Copies of this chain bind each other. A is one copy, B any other.
Amino acid sequence: MQTVALKLITIVAEPVLEERLVAALHRLGARGHTVSAVHGAGSRGMRASDPPGEGVRIETVVSEAVSEQILEHVASAYFPNYAVIAFVTEVAVVRGEKYL
C-alpha cells in the first residue's frame, strides 16, 4: 500500500480553548481535525491546578510545513498562559496526497 509520510499533531488543552485552537489549525493550513474528550492531570497538557480536570485532545494530520506553523503558533500563543501539551508523531497516511 502506498502511503504518504505526514505529521500527526496532538494537542491536549482545556476545553475552553477548543474553538480557538481549531480555528487556528485551519487558518494555518490543516484540512481537517478531530476532537475527543479526555480527563487527566499534570503539570501541562491539562489544567495547571492540581486536581484532575477535563480536557480535549485535538488531532490533525498535516504536512511538515503546516506542522511547523501550528507548533510555532501553539508555543507562542498558548504556552505562556495555558496548560497545553503539543507533540508530533510520524504517520504514514493512505491517499495522503490529499493533505499536502
Chain A residues within CB distance 8 Å of chain B? 1, 3, 6, 8, 10, 12, 30-46, 55, 57, 61, 68, 71-72, 74-75, 79, 85-96, 98
User: Known: A1-B68, A40-B33, A42-B31. Is A92-B85 also a contact (CB below 8 A)?
Assistant: no
Min CB gap A5→B, angstroms: 10
Flag if A34 contacts B61 (CB, 8 Å): no
Give the oligomeric copy count: 3
Flag if B32 contacts A57 (CB, 8 Å): no
Min CB gap A10→B, angstroms: 8
Chain B residue contacts of A8, Cβ below 8 A: 87, 89
Chain B residue contacts of A71, Cβ below 8 A: 1, 3, 94
